[in-house]
A and B are shown apart, each in its own frame.
Chain A
Amino acid sequence: MMFTAKIKIMPKPGVLDPQGKAVMHSLETLGFKGIDETRIGKFIEIKLDAASKNAAMETATSMCQSLLANQVIETFEVEIS
């Protein structure tokens, strides 16, 4: 069966995110108020063939652990649909 893995990768809390900071300053310059924090991550969509939803989840998680995310600095969340 074909599944779509939607993978969200974010910098870990406490890891400096200069991109997020720069974007937050720009938003503030534009006049947006009340922004507490802006963090920028990555979103990856993978279409894959797997025997079941669980198997797809397992594969996508393994992909994140080995390549897609660097767990020293990033966290990841996988959603299968």
Chain B
Amino acid sequence: MLPELLQGTDAGGFLIIQDSVNYSGRHLLWSFINAALNREEAVHVLGFEVSEEELKDGLKGSHIQRLHFHDAYTDPLGWTDQPAFTVHQFCLEKLTHLIKQTSQHKPATLVIDSLSWILRHRCPPDVCKTLQQLKKGGAVRVIIGLLHADMHQRGIVGSVCHLASSVITVAPGMKGDEAVAKTTKRSKSGKVMQEEAIFCIKEDLTVVVQSKPSHLGSRQTDPEEQETDPTANLTFNLRLSDTERKAKEKLALPFVFSKEKKSALLHSGPGSGRILYEPDANDDYDQEDPDDDLDV
């Protein structure tokens, strides 16, 4: 599922890359930026955690001219006179204005690096509201946000992820540059798909999905367990040969009757009846006064 998300085959939505201190999701985020740039889409980056130079250095060799960096790294809280972008400007009007300024033609990709910064300084319901408005509004095609899940309370992470159409949770893998991505994708019809994949990111920011380890480890152990047959070394016979089986079936068990006798015993004859009752609108169910003899 990870390659499809990278290719951006979906009509849009809101994607969250959830990471923790054990493994940074920023390289995967850059891969998403790179993939979007290669598709010749305009990409707007709200950079809180990484400077413009570092990002552009990381994206060497891509079509950087379509990348629009909104610098919130130098002054995220607006302490100087000329802040480029601050946390407090994270609202629908400002962002649509910013995006409309530069890319008029096509809905753009908005990358937020990272949502954690915004969530630290703004109240979560407002952030959720803005994200939902952006998702519904026409200016942005895809929102991709990085979220450091271990920085926030579980409820905040849950609330933000509840809005997302796809969530990729990254964790370190077994070997050096490998990582495990757990992808959850919600389709519009309400269907939920989940997948786990081991991936590594190459120098040119392409993502190579190595395998789909979906419970491979646990499945390998299963056949071994089944191989040990407890009936293998028994001192007595558990099996029947064909002749033995025939002999067994020929034997009539006590109290086994013929079909006719059984049906005569079990089926009640035509003389008996049964009560079928359907409640009716005029039925009166009165628990307090069944006999109607009290002055209620």
Q: Do A and B bind each other?
A: no
A-to-B contact residues, CB < 8 Å: none
